[in-house]
Amino acid sequence: MNDKIVLTGIKPTGIPHLGNYVGALKPLIELANNYKTYIFIADLHALNSIKDAKLIKQYSYEIAALMIALGLNLDNAVLFRQSDIMGVYQLSNFLMNVTPKGLMNRAHSYKAMVEKNTEANLDIDSGVNMGLYTYPILMAADILLYNSDVVPVGADQKQHVEFARDIAGYFNNTYGETFKLPEPIIGETNGIIPGLDGRKMSKSYDNTIPVFVTESELKKKIMRIITDSKTPEESKNPDESTIFQLYKHFAKADEIEQFRQMFLKGGMGYGTAKTILFEKINSILSEPRKEYERLMANKDELDAILHNGAERAKIVAEKTITRVKKAMLG
């Protein structure tokens, strides 16, 4: 096993969809077969936007069950709830003292709020709470608390990992070598999974297919994929078809080539193509779906797994806090 430490957080603000699965979750599960991996449910990061405790809890269970059902290797991977290790808030506060305010002003998500407010003629900080403003520092604390080397994230989170690296650098310059400098790895498929309407699959477009829905729901969703109006006889361009683009991420190379030929040759209607896509996705997800449903009906089992993860994470977290306290306070 490689001795690099991988870490990532998944924010419990929605139900993961097939775009998340292909772009982030599946590659993460593969990484966890070869690396010591920390995967946590970033419930503290959800607090600046979600004010409903029940909802955060429900989403958190769903993410945990989903990762386990998809085969996450729990020997290598430490799966836990961020809020079970409150040391992350301590580290976050320590890091504030070496973090320039100007760095936070440059964060994409904060800047986007400022721009929106400016356009609407509002105070630039209207609707901005300190949880949102200091979000990157909490994320740096996540990353540095567990001595992470690599942080797999979507492209939208790259800046946050770079900030964590900057903050680690400021700290090391001030107090001597304390933190490793983490590096982002950006999932190449992120954002290129099309949704039902052909735009990228995203919650904000309301065009997603959740990873675990019932078989009939999955079929219904797939049948709703928007296509052009070519007749069954006509030749079709696979590279412009959402059906084919989705199929590519689930099938084997020879199956993909065969499906491509069926598009090009003509003689296959979109209804048939959708049925083929449904059967492929369903064959891959039907066993994990059963396990997911079993886990969601056994919250005690999920709690036990998350608790065990937290116990393992705590050992590392406490060492880091001790090291930081010593460096800063003697």
What is the spatial distance between Cα 83 and Cα 69, in angstroms, rounded to a whole number? 22
Positions in 145-164 near ligand TRP (CB under 6 A)? 151, 153, 157, 160
What is the spatial distance between Cα 52 and Cα 46, in angstroms, rounded to a whole number? 10
Q: By C-beta, is 24 or 281 nearer to ligand TRP?
A: 24
If one asks whether residue 37 binds ligand TRP (CB under 6 A), the answer comes out as no
Q: Is 290 a catalytic residue?
A: no
Min separation Cβ 64 and ligand TRP, Å: 15
Sequence-distant (≥ 6) Cβ neighbours of residue 118 within 8 angstroms: 124
Q: Determine which one of 4, 57, 203, 219 is catalytic.
A: 203
Helix intervals (H) in 77-134: 87-96, 101-105, 108-119, 130-133
Candidate list 6, 9, 83, 247; residue touching ligand TRP; CB under 6 A: 9
Q: Is 200 a catalytic residue?
A: yes
Candidate list 17, 26, 45, 165; residue touching ligand TRP; CB under 6 A: 45
If one asks whether residue 42 binds ligand TRP (CB under 6 A), the answer comes out as yes
DSSP letters spanning 130-182: HHHHTHHHHHHHHHHHTT-SEEEE-GGGHHHHHHHHHHHHHHHHHHSS-S---
Min separation Cβ 246 and ligand TRP, Å: 23
If one asks whether residue 313 binds ligand TRP (CB under 6 A), the answer comes out as no
Q: Determine which one of 4, 57, 200, 230 is catalytic.
A: 200
Q: What is the largest CA-CA distance in the chain?
A: 77
Report the candidate in 3, 9, 116, 23 with the shortest Cα–Cα distance to residue 60: 9
Positions in 281-310 near ligand TRP (CB under 6 A)? none
The binding site for ligand TRP (CB under 6 A) comprises 7-9, 11, 42, 45, 139, 142-143, 151, 153, 157, 160
